[in-house]
Each structure stands twice: as C-alpha cells, then as structure tokens.
Amino acid sequence: MAYRVLGRAGPPQPRRARRLLFAFTLSLSCTYLCYSFLCCCDDLGRSRLLGAPRCLRGPSAGGQKLLQKSRPCDPLGPTPSEPGAPSAPAAAVPAPRLSGSNHSGSPKPGTKRLPQALIVGVKKGGTRAVLEFIRVHPDVRALGTEPHFFDRNYGRGLDWYRSLMPRTLESQITLEKTPSYFVTQEAPRRIFNMSRDTKLIVVVRNPVTRAISDYTQTLSKKPDIPTFEGLSFRNRTLGLVDVSWNAIRIGMYVLHLESWLQYFPLAQIHFVSGERLITDPAGEMGRVQDFLGIKRFITDKHFYFNKTKGFPCLKKTESSLLPRCLGKSKGRTHVQIDPEVIDQLREFYRPYNIKFYETVGQDFRWE
C-alpha cells in the first residue's frame, strides 16, 4: 500500500492510544483536585471535612494552579499526627453547681428547723455549761450563740430565727440558749405561739450566790459601779431589799415561773440544779437527757474536775484533741461580800425559795 507523505507526518496513531492518554490526564487532574479539597483550610483555619486545622506546607509545582486560590492556615505548631507533638489540652468544662450544696459539691445534710427545746434561764445559773455538755450528744444540735429572739429580736420573724439554727436530721433535736427569756414577760406566750410542745430547761442556783456572780461579772466590765451592798438595799438598816435591781429580781424564781405556767405544764419544764451540775455533772446531764427523750450518751467518762476553775470540764474526745473547759469569764473569783449582807439576803429569799420548791416539787436546799 502506498502512503501519502505530508511533510514529516508518520503513520496515524491508533484511536485506543488517544483514549488512554485522555484518561491518564483526567485522572491526574482529579488527584490534584481531591488533594486540594482535603488539605485546604477555610477562612477559620479548620478543615470542613476533618474538623481539625491543617496548614498547606509547600505544595508541589504540579499542583500550584489548583491550589493557588487557597489561603494557608495560621501556623499552630506541630499537628497531633506528627511524632513527638504535644497534644492540645482539652477545654475545661465547669461542673454544674448544685443548689444547696457545700464547697465540696456534696449537699449539706439536714434541714434548718425551729428549736424543739430551749434553755430559757437563768443568767449566771450554769446555762453555758449545760449547753456545752449537751452538745456532746450526737442527737442534739445546738446554736452556740444567744439569738435573743423572744425578747429582743421577735420582730424579725420566725423565718429569720429559723435561719440561725444549725442543720439537723429528723432524728436530732435543735436547741438554743438565751437565759434572759426566763425573766421576759412576753417570752412564754411567744414561745407557745411558735410551738406548744417546746421543751423548756431552766438552770437555777442559790439566788444569793447567783446575785453575787452577776455583780462580779458586771464589775469586771464596769469598775465604777456602786458596791454590791449599795445596790442590794434601799435601806439596809431596815432590811429593805431593792427588788428593782435586776441581779436581785432574777433570783425570785417563783414569780417568773408563774408566767410560764400560764402557757406550759410543769411536765414540759425541767429544772437543773446549778450546784449539782458542779458536784455531779453526769447525774444532772443524765436527767436532762431523759427529759429530752434521748439516750443517756453523756456519762461520767466525759468529765473531769478542773481544780483551777472549780467546776467540771469535758474530757478530750475523738473529734477533739484537747479537753474542753468553759471560757475565762466562767469560774472567776467572786468579790468579797460582808457576811451580814449575805445573811440578810438569805432571809429575804427564803419565802420565795420555799414557794418555788413547793411549785416544782423539788428541794434545792439553798437555806
């Protein structure tokens, strides 16, 4: 067969070869296009597909045209896939705060309740000792300070009063102490309106000794006050005692008790002997626990006698590395009083004491 010669033209290429060349070119273009799609970062520097930042580092010359419109990511250091690259710290997610929880995140146990029992008196009778002793009991939670709700702060309302109380479980008793309640005319009615089932504790002491202790405390704060004798009598020669002086009036227990018995039966009032609280603290506290309806947990093993202070203190417990005694203001030495003044006051209090014994059915032997 003869061929036509047109310049240097050779024989025509087969159609199959042309198809293979076209397929190869198309495959190469798709490869570069996929590489561009996977590796190119968007405006935020994150791959839409992989969700992780990827930066373009020196694309090949063959891919320049395909990648020239792509903007490289800001450098973020080595990627996690590179050997030895530190992993990026995860963003901290704050833990949700629980309502009513403490700083540790766990809810505080118990509920704030109005007190079921009150130590209502009397001042300088031994109320602080009873409070500190009874707080050892696991079934009692007591407010450490004196809220004076039923005498000075009644206008604040019961919600305010409740907010002061410690949290207690259903099995625990809430208790507070304010000795001035006993001599406050409105206190019995106000406590009755809160709860007619409230249990009342009254710590009483020889009224003459109590008055001297009261005066000693006042004298430590006000050194310029008149003498004990001058405050006790309107006319000592005639034996006229000044019952307007609070230190004297508090000791007329039976007069104050009459107000309480108008609202509470005697069975709901427990009287603690301030003298026996010193000589037999376990016995007195045993009767307090019986009155409150709780197990006799506080016993002789909890006490030792402090000769310096002249009254019992609590021994150290598992929760306390040191023994617990009342503060410096307790057990202070009384001022010296003329014995004749003491005798006159004993005679003054005698009829009130006897009537008090008869009313409560207990002889405190103060004569």
Give binding residues as ranges.
124-128, 205, 213, 330-334
Residue 348 CA to residue 220 CA, distance in Å, equals 26
Question: Would you list which residues are annotated within the binding site for 3'-phosphoadenylyl sulfate?
Answer: 124-128, 205, 213, 330-334
- What count of Cα atoms within 13 Å lies in the side-chain half-sphere of residue 155? 1
Measured CA to CA in angstroms, residue 93 lies from 13, 89, 90, 96 at distances of: 69, 12, 9, 9
DSSP-derived 3-state class of residue 171: coil
DSSP-derived 3-state class of residue 325: coil
Q: 178-203 in b/e burial notation, b at 16+ Cβ within 10 A?
A: bbbbbbbeebbebbeebeeebbbbbb
| Interacting residues of 307 by C-beta distance below 8 A, sequence separation 6+ | none
Catalytic site residue 124? yes
Residue 142 CA to residue 133 CA, distance in Å, equals 11
Residue with tokens 């508090």, as numbered in its chain: 250
| Annotated catalytic residue within 69, 108, 112, 124 | 124
DSSP-derived 3-state class of residue 300: helix
Positions annotated as catalytic residues are 124
